[in-house]
Amino acid sequence: MRHNQGIWDAHVHTHGGCTVDGYLRNGRDNLSASGLDGMNLLCVRLGKSACITDAEALLLKALMPGRFTVYCNPAFQIEEFGSDAEGLHKQILGFAEAGADGVKLGDGEAGENVNLDDPIYDGIFSALEKTDLSALFHVGAAPYIPAQRFFQKNKFPVARPPWLVYTGKQDDDREATSRISRERLAQRHQQIENLLSRHPDARVTFAHFFFKADDLDSMAAFLDHYPNTRIDITPCSDLYYHLSQNPNRSREFFETYSDRLIFGTDNEMELDPVLQIALVRQFLETDESFFCVKYGFDITGIAPLQKETLEKIYRSNFRKMVPGTVINYKKAAAYCEGLYEIVKGFEEMPEENALEVLEVARRFNSMV
């Protein structure tokens, strides 16, 4: 029996460019290290030098059926992909054809000053409704990050292990801060409501509790009004701090909305997965107060939750929404060949990385 058996991580970032076999090895090793049932891989296009990950992720999914799902990321600001509303619509349809399971979206990807209810998003959301793909949308940021404390280090040059020696301000405790004003966050939330009102059938999960963990009544009202939405409980710089302030109220919320909560970690497929998984489980399965090393503040767990509630959050909510599409190898190969034709002309793209896409296409063709 695996340690984290019965859990599917719906929020795992992944990156290509490490050779096709290197990528496949990373996926197998990370899944083995995690002990999870499976992972949802988020393939974000970070620019012209890093926009090929979905090809390798689709191959990993095909080679390990039932263990991985894949969310592709539309390229808003890379014109060669088609970055107007029509082009974005076609990108989503292409993802569906290739065998992807959903779409990853991020606040600001369309441009710093582009509203989230801008017509450019209609192309994406209409495609979501047409294909029945689901989306994971990161909207906003933390309006309040609590004060953080870190392990103290020796500030003098002595013979000590390097992790005990002070390296600068990054080792200092930090005062409370903010990444976005509450007014700006409220505007982004309202823009999302405007967008959802135009696309009520789009199935969207909002990352990091939609940055509403400090106002559970407002979060509840949102979920009540938009029945096709969900929120993931992926840790971030403020989420579990807010949920710890009133554990009884948080527990009540988790029980009431147990059908709408999705487990996620924000892990990177190329890094150790265990810490974030343990953090979320400690919050859900204990009622203890404990120091969270990564975020630098105390967290109080909300146990006891019903066994059925935990099962929904850990696995079934996501898997009912995303059961996993069967990849058509021929269509997946055609998608990768088309991707290669786009990226091979990018000066920013290392030639070796572009050729990885072609190699993925070759392997899919060999599987037909």
Closest listed residue to residue 16, CA positions, set 355, 301, 365? 355
Cis, peptide link before residue 247, omega less than 30° from 0? no
Query: Does 362 score more than 80 pLDDT?
Result: yes
E strand segments, 29-173: 38-43, 68-72, 102-106, 134-138
Q: Which residue has the tokens 């509790």?
A: 209
Assign 164 a pLDDT band (cuts: 50, 70, 90): confident
The single-letter code of the amino acid at 92 is I
Q: Are strands 289-292 and 38-43 parallel, antiparallel or unpaired?
A: unpaired
Could you tell me which residues come within 8 angstroms of residue 341 by beta carbon, excluding any fewer than 6 positions away? none
Whole-model pTM: value is 0.97
Query: Does 173 score more than 80 pLDDT?
Result: yes
Query: Does 296 score more than 90 pLDDT?
Result: yes
The separation between the first and the last C-alpha atoms of the chain, rounded to the nearest angstrom, is 34
Average pLDDT of span 271-300: 97
Tens digit of pLDDT for each residue in 141-152?
A: 999 999 999 999
Predicted confidence at residue 211, as pLDDT, reads 98
Return the sign of the alpha-carbon dihedral for residues 35, 38, 40, 45: positive
CA atoms of 222 and 224, how far apart (whole Å): 5
